[in-house]
Chains A and B, each alone.
Chain A
Amino acid sequence: MASLPLNPPPPPEWVVRMNTPMPRLSKHASSIPDPPGYAKKMASKNQRAQQSAATSAPAKPVETDTLKLKKAWEIALAPSKQIPMNAIMMYMSGNSLQIFSIMMVFMLFKGPIQGLINTNAVFAKFDTEGTHAKLLGVKAIYVVMQLGLLCLGVWKVNAMGLLPTTRSDWLAWESERQPLERAYFAFG
């Protein structure tokens, strides 16, 4: 059975109807007034008018650039809103090494790093010839904000004692001092 080509099932009836164009109304039927509230022509006309307004009558480029920049600023400053929330979360979760706090720290690192990698992608749609120069500053702020979040993560990891910043973390690489002479004891 599996080897035989499957016949496509016949499309359901409503599909067939939808795909077929509306039949011309008969004369009798056309004389029947439309029910109140049914405005077929008006609706389609309005839609078309709007669409044509968007495409056929473009706004001035300066205006769009300002809009884009505004939008870009919003995106750039978005991480700063996360910082206080994350800081409180990190502070509350404690410094013990538990699966929960480890997951949170992981997420804290994942977000900013992904954000940094996608910096250009995020601002790509705002990047026009006009905004290009101005976007550089926006990007810089965005990077700074992400780095701020990253710093929060580093601070948290340090608080958890996972950063090799102390002498004891390097103790294993220090070696015992070897004496040049060796004594053999015969105390019996």
Chain B
Amino acid sequence: MWLQATLLLLASCVPSSLAIYADEVNHVDYHHALLGFPSAQSTFFLKPSPSSNASLLYTLSEKSLLGAVNPKDGSLVWRQNLSRSALPADGNAHTLLRASEGTNALVSAAGDYLSSWTALDGKLIWENWFVDETVADLELLELEDASASPPTKDTVALFGGKAAVVRRLDGDSGKTKWEHLDESGDIPIQISSSSTEVFYVSLQSSARKGYRIKVTSLDPLTGQQNQQQVLSSESDVSSADSVLFVGANTAAPLITWADQSRKALKVNVIGTKQVHTFDIENTSGESISSITIHAPKKLESLPHFLVHYETDSTTWAEVYHIDLKSASVSKAYELPRLEGWSVFSTSNKDANVYFTRITQSETTVVSSASHGILGRWTHQAPPMEQALHSVSEVVARGDTVAVRSAAALISGDWQLIRNGQTEWTRYEALAGALAAAWVEEDIQEDLAHQLQVEGHETLYGAYMHRVKRHARDLQHLPEWLKELPKRILTSILTDEVSNLDGFGIVRPVVVATENGRVYSLDAGNHGAVSWKVKAAETESWNVKAILTQPGSATIYVDDGSSVTLDVTSGEVLNRSPATVKIRSVAVASDGTTPVTVGIQENGVPTESVDGQGFFVTLSDDGSVLGWFARDNQNPAWQFRPAPGEKIIHATARPPHDPIASIGKVLGDRSVLYKYISPNLALITAVGDNSATFYLLDAISGRILHTSAHQGVDTTQPIASVISENWFAYSFWGDVVDPTDAKGYQLVISELYESSIPNDRGPLDSASNYSSITDLPLPHVIAQAFLIPEPISHMAVTQTRQGITVRHLLCTLPFSNAIVGIPRPVLDARRPVGRDPTSLEAEEGLFKYNPFLQFEGKWFLTHSRDVAGIKTVLSTPTLLESTSLIFAFGGDIFATRATPSQSFDVLGKGFSKLQLLMTIVALSIGVAVLAPMVRKKQINQIWKASS
């Protein structure tokens, strides 16, 4: 108790929060700035400025994040989130990214939203919305007759919707120059532009079945229709996906499709009527699983293209040449059939076209003109993971070539291979993180077991056991002694990170991603991936929870299955089969071993458990249910919000939420007792334009407190959190009656047992209580603050004993940051409209200010751009001052929070060396002076007597 009191005193003495120091960046925190899995059609190397020879790697990922990556080290140069501007589309609206060499502009499309960005720094040039239409294809117009290298290039976009529209958009403003409306009801596929014409390719449904390919050529200057051709393909093309390729922006744009049995390849050079048919030579005996066409995308490049055939176990490719004059297509050569996977990519240097093939064991480069291998590099062991697609950049110097390829791997990683060497890996799969948990080291487990044994033995037996244990421990003594000088040296020379490992500061994190992978991030090494493993048996899973035990982590999936992994190696230890679909997992930690129970979609626990506990669940019909753990048939209580409202969020106090002091000491030294109950649930329910926050007692289902707000924009994020004796929520509120405030609001409510100091309410000094028989209502004090931006998620810092001041961790989606608001600032008892009295000032209260500006030092993410965070976790460490924070969902960000400063850690300013030197100097001084003083004293005696 005294220790706690002392710590509390210490904690309250230091300033509530201080910003991170510059030398702590990358030391206490780490950040993975992620883009998501790069999409195959919208990834390329590009030189952003004509003057520079350096190129950047651009991608528009499957998460609609547009970004530029430095190919040298894989660091992110810039990124933009397109899904933020695009209207929420139907999900599978595809995204496109186009660029042209020599212009500093990228054009991207996502659903109805078109935008152009500078390639060098990712600044917006223009944006445009086309409501009720979705972009089907996008090309940059390369006009030969235009004046030499215009600064920007116009965009031709094809829109689908009620009717297909082709529009030419101005390269500087994004305004429509002309549009061509096609009301025939054809399915728009793609557009393609040559130097003189714009081709609009669509599918015309034929009378019988299948589709005919219709090519309409348009004048690029006016948008007038020049001519139209219909290719008879109805026997082969059954949907838009059947068309393999429509070449874009090439000297000889082409349309390619295959027949349904994949025996013949059909090629049409756009603008001609002729269809070339090639037999596919498939000698593998397996059916072809996919055919991909790779063609260069530049006007000046040679009109060559590569057809990549894939069966389940082998791949091969054929290269075709187009004769521009006769518009005839001929097969030039074949790349050999190889076992296993391979991916091809096209790159060009001036007019030369190179094809790069990456297989499991090697990278090869061939020229499109001949089949001679220009470069071959063997990959290092271990064999490379399967790549799904890649982009390459080939540099030719005389006869030799150098190549770098960015391959998107099946695990969701993005890897750059330069001449066969892996340069960097970006773990883009982490952008789809669903759940995360800190690993529990199993070092202490053995000791805990031993102590347990001792606890159960007789006094003498326990004593002997301990003596034996210590004797056994002596065998480590020589090693310990050997390490001692090194430890002392390192503790003097290095700063704290290595020394605090033993305090649980550096704990690895296990992250489960939506593509069935599990990653382990090493906190001591800037969050580097220490292992990754494919834990799911399918390609995607919906992880509900990760629970860690010492040495292992169990992942619970929504189909009722679970996987247990070894946390040091990632090895799968145990796998339980799928049972019923679950929506969440309850952990009953009643006895010694926690019991996990799945909760079905309708809120019913899958099984009943022995014990006194209660389960509180949400059901899909929008009610909160309470269950006796013993009985999963009939709910103990059911809570439904008012009619017209639906529950959008429910939260409870964190499982580990210790309370250091049960009361709040006021300035006159009286005590306001906190209303403390571990069984509180905070339910958020929204109506059409209202939000109601219900505080429930989870045992009896009684409503303890309700706060309702009108004029709430329910499309904006509404976040809530509950901890200790307070809860907080935020929403966007409009003016309903004149006293209301308009804007983003953060409301903090504190619960007390009584409004009168020194009063413990009706239960008074009772040591325990039952929620069912006698449950007093809390006295609630609330205060609202206006905040500058929305909060999408809330969490609270956790410390070991709860002595340290808590921070309210708020995720700010607008400024891509996580902010930790100190609780003293969010005190609901701050005096309103007057300065605090001396007693209040003594308590630490200061005048209420309705506008809460987020101070720069509160930003845990400081200057980092931490985007897309969905969940923030916090865990205590062995140091009371320090709380670990891990944020995931989009980016990965982890840091340490010290809400009351690190009062229990020696700071960096403390010089151990100086201390040692002082001791040494003092010892030397004593050693030198001692004989001198002794001599003087003796002399004194003798000289005095003479």
Listed in ascending order, the chain A residues whose CB lies under 8 Å from chain B are 6, 9, 161, 166-169, 171-188
Q: Does B852 contact A (CB under 8 A)?
A: no
B544 within 8 Å of A (CB atoms): yes
Q: List 17 A-B contacts (CB under 8 A).
A: A6-B945, A166-B670, A168-B665, A168-B666, A171-B663, A171-B671, A174-B663, A175-B662, A178-B768, A181-B614, A182-B590, A184-B615, A184-B629, A185-B681, A186-B615, A187-B584, A188-B618
Closest Cβ of chain A: how far from B626's Cβ, in Å?
Answer: 7
Contact A183 B615 (CB under 8 A): yes
For residue A77, give the distance in angstroms from its CB to the closest CB of chain B: 37
**Measured CA separation A175–B766 after assembly (Å):** 10
- Assess whether A183 is in contact with B616, with CB atoms less than 8 Å apart: yes
Q: Is the CB of B669 within 8 A of A166?
A: yes
* Nearest CB in chain B: distance from A81 CB, A: 35
Determine whether the beta carbon of B599 is less than 8 Å from that of A186: yes
Residues of A within 8 A of B769 (CB): 177-180
Is B662 a contact of A171 with CB atoms below 8 Å?
yes
CB-CB under 8 A from A180, the residues of chain B are 768-771
Please state if B699 and A183 are interface contacts (CB–CB under 8 Å). Answer: yes
Chain A residue nearest to B668 in the complex (CB): A166
Determine whether the beta carbon of A172 is less than 8 Å from that of B679: no
Q: Which residue of A lies closest to B761 (CB)?
A: A177
Taking CB as reference atom, which chain B residue is nearest A170?
Answer: B671
Closest 7 CB pairs of A and B: A188-B584, A186-B586, A166-B669, A183-B698, A185-B652, A168-B665, A187-B650
A188 to B677, CA, bound (A): 20
Residues of A within 8 A of B31 (CB): none
* Interface members, chain B 620-674 (any A CB < 8 Å): 626, 629, 650-652, 659, 661-663, 665-666, 668-671
Verify B612–A186 contact, CB threshold 8 A. Answer: no
B210 at the interface (CB under 8 A from A): no
CB contact under 8 A between A188 and B599, given known A177-B763, A183-B626? yes
B677 touches A179 (CB 8 A): yes
CA distance A178 to B770 in the complex (A): 9
CB-contacts of B750-798 with A (<8 A): 757-758, 763, 765-772
**In the complex, chain A residues whose CB is within 8 Å of the CB of B677:** 179
Chain A nearest CB from B650 CB (Å) reads 4
- B676 engages A177 (CB within 8 Å): yes
Q: 12 additional contacts, CB 8 Å, given A167-B670, A171-B662, A187-B681? A: A6-B945, A168-B670, A179-B769, A182-B614, A182-B678, A182-B679, A184-B587, A184-B589, A184-B629, A186-B586, A186-B617, A188-B545
Contact check, B670 vs A186: say whether CB atoms are below 8 A apart.
no
* Alpha-carbon separation in the docked complex, A169 to B670 (Å): 9
Q: A161-B669, A172-B4, A188-B584 are in contact. Are A181 and B652 (CB under 8 A)?
A: no
Measured between beta carbons, the chain B residues less than 8 angstroms from A184 are 586-589, 613-616, 629
* Any A CB within 8 A of the CB of B583: yes
Question: B488 in the interface, Cβ–Cβ < 8 Å?
Answer: no
Given A166-B670, A186-B586, verify A171-B652 contact (CB < 8 Å).
no
Of B605, B613, B651, B663, the residue contacting A187 (CB under 8 A) is B651
Could you say which residues of chain B place their CB within 8 Å of the CB of A9? Answer: 945
Checking B616, B668, B676 against A185 with a beta-carbon cut-off of 8 angstroms, the contacting residue is B616
| Residues of B that sit less than 8 Å from A by CB | 1-2, 4-5, 544-545, 583-590, 597, 599, 605, 612-618, 626, 629, 650-652, 659, 661-663, 665-666, 668-671, 676-679, 681, 698-699, 757-758, 763, 765-772, 945
A172 touches B585 (CB 8 A): no
B669 touches A172 (CB 8 A): no
Inter-chain CA distance A102–B763, complex, in Å, is 41
Contact B768 A179 (CB under 8 A): yes
The answer for the CA separation of A174 and B772 in the assembled complex, in Å, is 24
Contact B669 A169 (CB under 8 A): yes
Q: Are A167 and B699 in contact (CB under 8 A)?
A: no
Establish whether residues B618 and A187, one from each chain, have CB atoms under 8 Å apart when the complex forms: yes
Nearest A residue to B558, CB-CB: A188
Chain B residues near A172 (CB-CB < 8 A): 1-2, 4-5, 661
Least CB distance, A188 to chain B, in whole angstroms = 3
CB of B585, distance to nearest CB on chain A (Å): 6
A166-B670, A183-B613, A186-B599 known; A176+B659 contact, CB < 8 A = yes
Contact of A186 among B1, B585, B763, B767 (CB under 8 A): B585
Q: Which chain A residues lie closer than 8 Å to B2 at the CB level? A: 172
Kindly provide the distance from the CB of A161 to the nearest chain B CB, expressed in whole angstroms: 7
Tell me the bound Cα distance from A188 to B544 in angstroms.
Answer: 7
Which of A161, A166, A169, A175 lies in contact with B767, CB distance below 8 A? A175
With a cutoff of 8 Å between Cβ atoms, the chain A residues found around residue B758 in the complex are: 167
A179 adjacent to B699 (CB under 8 Å): yes
The distance in angstroms between the C-alpha atoms of A186 and B544, with both chains bound, is: 10
Who on chain B is nearest to A172 by CB?
B1
In the complex, what residue of chain B is closest to A175 when comparing beta carbons? B767
User: Are the CB atoms of A185 and B671 closer together than 8 Å?
Assistant: no
B residues near A168, Cβ cutoff 8 Å = 663, 665-666, 669-671
**Distance A153 CA – B605 CA, assembled complex (angstroms):** 66
Complex: A44 Cα to B652 Cα, angstroms:
103
Most chain B beta-carbon neighbours within 10 Å: one of A166, A173, A177, A188: A177
Which residue on chain B has the smallest CB distance to residue A178? B768
Distance A52 CA – B671 CA, assembled complex (angstroms): 76
Instruction: Compute how far the CA of A180 lies from the CA of B612 in the bound complex, rounded to whole angstroms.
Output: 9
Known: A171-B661, A185-B698. A179 touches B616 (CB 8 A): no
Are B669 and A186 in contact, CB atoms less than 8 angstroms apart? no
Let me know if B767 and A177 touch, CB within 8 A: yes
Residues from chain B with Cβ under 8 Å of A166 in the complex? 668-670
CB of A90 to closest CB in B, whole Å: 20
Looking at the assembled complex, report how far the CB atom of A2 sits from the nearest CB atom of chain B, in whole angstroms.
9
CB-based contact B766/A181 at 8 Å: no
Contact call B616/A181, Cβ cutoff below 8 A: no
- Which of A169, A171, A181, A185 is close to B586, meaning CB atoms less than 8 Å apart? A185
| A177 contacts across to B, CB distance below 8 A | 676, 763, 766-769
Q: Give chain A residues whose Cβ lies under 8 Å from the Cβ of B588.
A: 184
**One of A179, A186, A187 near B679 (C-beta < 8 A):** A179
Q: Do A182 and B652 touch (CB < 8 A)?
A: no
Contact of A167 among B599, B618, B629, B671 (CB under 8 A): B671
Complex Cα distance, B615 from A173, in Å, reads: 32
CB distance from B772 to the nearest CB of A (A): 7
A188 partner residues in chain B, CB cutoff 8 A: 544-545, 583-585, 599, 618
Alpha-carbon separation in the docked complex, A178 to B677 (Å): 8
Q: Which residue of A lies closest to B698 (CB)?
A: A183
Q: Contacts of A186 on B, CB cut-off 8 Å?
A: 584-586, 597, 599, 605, 615-618
**For A168, A178, A186, A187, which residue has the most chain B Cβ atoms within 10 angstroms?**
A186
Which A residue sits closest to B654, measured CB to CB?
A185
Quick one: given A171-B661, A172-B5, are A183 and B617 in contact (CB under 8 Å)? no
CB distance from A88 to the nearest CB of B (A): 24
Q: How far apart are A25's CB and chain B's nearest CB, in angstroms?
A: 39
> How far does the alpha carbon of A160 sit from the alpha carbon of B376 in the complex, in Å?
85
Known pairs A183-B626, A184-B587, A188-B583; A178 contacts B1 (CB<8 A): no
Known: A167-B671, A169-B669, A188-B584. A181 touches B770 (CB 8 A): yes
Question: Hey, which chain B residues are within 8 Å of A181, CB to CB?
Answer: 612-614, 679, 699, 770-772
Residues of A within 8 A of B763 (CB): 177
Minimum CB–CB distance for A108 against chain B, Å: 23
Chain A: CB-nearest residue to B589 = A184
Q: How far is the CA of A6 from the CA of B944 in the complex (A)?
A: 14
B590 touches A174 (CB 8 A): no
Which chain A residues border B678 with CB–CB below 8 Å?
Answer: 179, 182-183
**In the complex the two chains form, what is the Cα distance from A161 to B842 in whole Å?**
13
The interface residues of chain A lying within 8 Å CB-to-CB of B599 are: 186, 188
Q: A residues within 8 A CB of B614?
A: 181-184
* Complex Cα–Cα for A26 and B488 (A): 92
Min distance, Cβ B281 to any Cβ of chain A, angstroms = 54
Residues from chain A with Cβ under 8 Å of B618 in the complex: 186-188
B669 and A174 within 8 A (CB): no
| Cβ A174 vs Cβ B615 within 8 A | no
Knowing A179-B699, A188-B583 touch, does A171 contact B665 (C-beta < 8 A)? Answer: yes
